[in-house]
A and B are shown apart, each in its own frame.
Chain A
Amino acid sequence: EPEVTQTPSHQVTQMGQEVILRCVPISNHLYFYWYRQILGQKVEFLVSFYNNEISEKSEIFDDQFSVERPDGSNFTLKIRSTKLEDSAMYFCATGELGEQYFGPGTRLTVT
């Protein structure tokens, strides 16, 4: 059964450093999303991406964040200058219509 994959599974970085989180979507899906879950909190929407552009973004998704699909397969989330409060699980999700299928997540720890 096709699944969404994410790398790395765990990333430790120092405050102020750039990180890139990678996702390989399910191949025939057209919609791509990033969510995050801070420990003990709800899963929160960050951004949606369709037809090679951002469809919608939340207040969390400020100028420090960017997404792209550089090679038509990978879908990446970049955080330019990480802050302590960016520490969270980051989930990629992909879908065709209503359903969204999530990857296993990347645990980002900012020290």
Chain B
Amino acid sequence: DQQVKQNSPSLSVQEGRISILNCDYTNSMFDYFLWYKKYPAEGPTFLISISSIKDKNEDGRFTVFLNKSAKHLSLHIVPSQPGDSAVYFCAASAGLVGSARQLTFGSGTQLTVLP
């Protein structure tokens, strides 16, 4: 059951450059998407989210783009910093507004930002 897929297990970028992390989904009922960052032995840390009624959401260095027709979203980090090195998870949810919603996670992408 791979409803949310992150096809790149790892990504390396130079400090100061752009990091682009990708995520694909198959379930057309998903209407809310989130990105999390995770360090070893810690819980996922919420970064940014986007509703399916939007195609872009920006928060500081982080921008998430959603292409509903392609069932694809991406996280851009500009500029990348060494402290951004972590595993990044894409997650998606579906359901009624105001209801509890389970998140379906991708397998994660290990981002390494090289100084």
Contact = CB atoms under 8 A, between A and B. Distances in A.
Interface of A: 4, 6, 31-33, 35, 42-45, 48-50, 55-56, 58, 91, 93, 97-105, 107
Given A45-B104, A99-B49, 11 more contacts: A31-B101, A32-B100, A35-B103, A43-B103, A44-B105, A48-B100, A55-B99, A55-B100, A58-B102, A102-B45, A107-B41
Dominant SS at the A interface?
strand
Nearest to B102: A45
Nearest to B107: A42
A111 B44 CA distance: 26
Contacts of B65: none
A45 B42 contact: no
Nearest to B48: A99
B87 to A, nearest CB: 10
B107 to A, nearest CB: 5
Contact of B46 (A6, A91, A101): A101
9 contacts: A33-B103, A43-B103, A50-B99, A55-B100, A98-B32, A98-B51, A99-B49, A102-B36, A107-B41
